[in-house]
Amino acid sequence: MKKYKIAHIVTRLDFGGAQFNTLYTASHLDPARFDVSLLAGPGGTMENIPEDIAVNVIPELRRSINPFYDLKALFALALRLKDIKPDLVHTHSSKAGILGRIAARMAGVPFIVHTFHGFGFHPYQNPAVRNLYVMLEKYCATFSSALVFVSKSNMEYARSLGIGSSDRYNLIRSGIKLFRYPANADRRKILESLGADSRFTVNAEAASKAIVVSSIGNSKPQKNPADFIHAAAELVKKRPDLLFVFAGGGNELERFRKMVRDLGIEKQFLLPGWRSDSAEILSVSDIYAMTSLWEGLPRSLVEAFASGLPAVCYRADGVTDILADGVNGFSTEKKDIAGFTEKLGKVIDDPALRRKLASGAAETDLAEFDIDFMVRRQEELYLRLFEGVPS
């Protein structure tokens, strides 16, 4: 049995679905069939990198755009790939997707795969910058052996822009450890660990009476926690039993904490930073909320449904792949804070509706989001390419 060399490239190992899934794939591909290398830029916030994965750090590969360092990163990646001599390179995230694919071509790698965990371009960018990203994606798609999408929405959007050939498109969901959901956790203890006011944690009864609305993400513009904060500020005016949680870190976290203080809702809106117990946070929540402006398909929404939580979200890209209005939640147009607040308030105020939507969430078919199924699908894709079968 031939053993193939696979090299995964990601911009930086930060907390996030793309990074976690890349690491999981690298450490769970069948070792009898694949030798795996991982290339990434320096730094990052991700912890507990598997010991069996040696990360090849590319110092020049940085998240921010800098033509000087980007050109150096391109040649550094190409040189490292010439040393590794992989049979296939699989790139993830926008910058690594562009530089990594060009470097793989320069290094003569036989097969090149890219996963779109969302796009590096979006409607809120400067049009010239956006058009440049689209042009680069079109160029790199011409020599990509396969293009992988995590949502049908992203796939159709790429098709509408003419990015790559449809016969190279593959839908492989961003996986989670489904067996972990719903988690079993002590509600009072979790709320206390998040920093909740004593009115919510003084005893189990107080904790049970709170209505907890949670969101998980990064404080970066894409995740747009500001709209979630402003919606919460409206809703807490009439409901002292509401507790909002935005679990996640990032460079902008302190700015959003100040926003919460300025709005006078710091007792009812918690921003605890990065947490390793997101499954437990979801298990003690009543509703999941998300105001992202662009997405691939957010793993946190899958985790929320796996936890049996109804969701109220902005209609961002892959969200509509699994959120069905009136069945497992509600969606509104992006930046429609009033509409989002109204829908969220409706779910908060109507216990019968909340139970109905929670039942719909628990019944959502998430089988294709199992993380081990994701790995097997990627293995199948690699082997099809090696065996000359169209992707």
Task: Write down the pLDDT at residue 14.
Answer: 74
Q: Is the pLDDT of residue 116 over 70?
A: yes
Tens digit of each residue's pLDDT (9 = 90 or more) over 222-243: 899 999 999 999 999 999 999 9
**126-154 pLDDT tens trace:** 888 899 999 999 999 999 999 999 999 99
What are the pLDDT digits (tens) for 71-109? 999 999 999 999 999 999 999 988 999 999 999 999 999
The per-residue pLDDT for 125 is 79
- The SS3 call for residue 360 is helix
41 in Cβ contact with 11 (< 8 Å): yes
**Confidence band of 390 (pLDDT split at 50, 70, 90):** low
DSSP assignment string, 104-134: HHHTT-SEEEEEESS-S--TTS-HHHHHHHH
Amino acid identity at 253: L
Domains for the chain: give ranges and CATH numbers: 4-175+370-386 (3.40.50.2000), 178-366 (3.40.50.2000)
Instruction: State residue 153 phi and psi, 5-degree precision.
Output: -60, -45
pLDDT confidence of residue 63 = 80
Dump pLDDT digits (tens) for 38-66.
999 987 655 556 667 778 999 999 888 88
Structure pTM? Answer: 0.90
